[in-house]
Amino acid sequence: MKTIRLIIAALVTCASFAAAHAQVTPQFTASPATACTGDVIDITVNTTSGYKTARVFFDDGIDTYGDNLKHIYTSAGTYTISLSLLLDDNTWTAPATQTVTIGDTPELTLDNNQNAALLTATASNGASLEWKFNDNKISNTEPTLYYLESGTYTVTASNSNGCSATQSMKVTYEKQTANNDTQIKVVNNVITPGTRDGVNDILYIEDVGNYTSPCSVKIFDKKGKLVYTNNNYSNTDGFQGKDDDGNELFAGTYYYVIKSQGKQGCTGFVDIIR
């Protein structure tokens, strides 16, 4: 009879242990479930007791131990995170899993050509661009931005994965000094070649015919494309709203860079109105 009681007690004890053992199941949260390369993924173990530690496999060759962990994926892809618990009896539970999707963060660089007062953003994988000046959004979405003001320029590249990268640069624009003997002075910032009224038909540079060295003029469209070049500019055969092939340019705003040896070069905008 005593032996039977001992067997029954042992069976009860084993059953109680098994029941307690079965109640400890791994539960965790990986947040966010959708992220970008370089973002931090937080791993939080939601099981509160009955175990010693957790082991996490991140599916990218890295595993670690702990309860509240962080991980950064360096490559895009879909990853299955696995978490097991080390119980009080030194056995491991079956793993719980959660999937995270990681998108590519655009590679972004920002360069400043001070001679042309030109910022150039280079982004990978066709990411779209957004520019800001002193934290205020501006309309330009092109990879080039001509500036005529000192301040902080910021560009953000965003791709179809919803991932983005941001670069900022503080620039100083040296405005030309008025009434300076070495000053190149553009008289008009608007040309109306289509009206043919003899007024503002050409981009006019004051006294350019008396320069001791040739005056070069380059004109760019809003995308930064060079549309007009003249290395010996004159006011009788200058920019009249046509490109280098003689095609009429669309109405809009264009950017010029003007230089002459011995003169202080200048940059600015000219509007074509038709």
Token pair recorded at residue 211: 């320069």
Q: How many domains does the chain have?
A: 3
Domain that holds residue 131: 108-171
State the Cα–Cα distance between residues 37 and 103, nearest whole angstrom. Answer: 6
pLDDT score for 21: 47
Domain match, 62 and 37 both: yes
Q: What is the CATH number of the domain that holds 87?
A: 2.60.40.10
Domain match, 143 and 196 both: no
Contacts of 26 (CB under 8 A, 6+ apart): 45, 47, 54, 83, 84, 85, 93, 94, 95, 96
Q: Residue 131 phi/psi, 5° resolution?
A: -105, 150
Question: pLDDT in tens for each of the 274 residues of the chain?
Answer: 444 444 444 444 444 444 444 578 999 999 999 999 999 999 999 998 899 999 999 999 999 998 889 999 999 999 999 999 999 999 999 999 999 999 999 999 999 988 667 899 999 988 999 999 999 998 888 898 888 789 999 999 999 989 999 999 999 887 644 445 788 999 999 999 866 666 788 999 999 998 988 999 999 988 778 899 999 999 988 999 999 999 999 999 999 999 888 888 888 899 999 8
Domain match, 197 and 256 both: yes
pLDDT score for 206: 92
Which of 84, 91, 95 has its CA nearest to residue 17?
Answer: 91
Q: What is the identity of the amino acid at 254?
A: Y
Domain match, 69 and 129 both: no
In a domain, 178, yes or no: no
Domain match, 162 and 200 both: no
- What is the torsion angle, in degrees rounded to the nearest 10, for the CA atoms of residue 40, residue 41, residue 46 and residue 48? -50
Domain match, 260 and 203 both: yes
pLDDT score for 205: 95
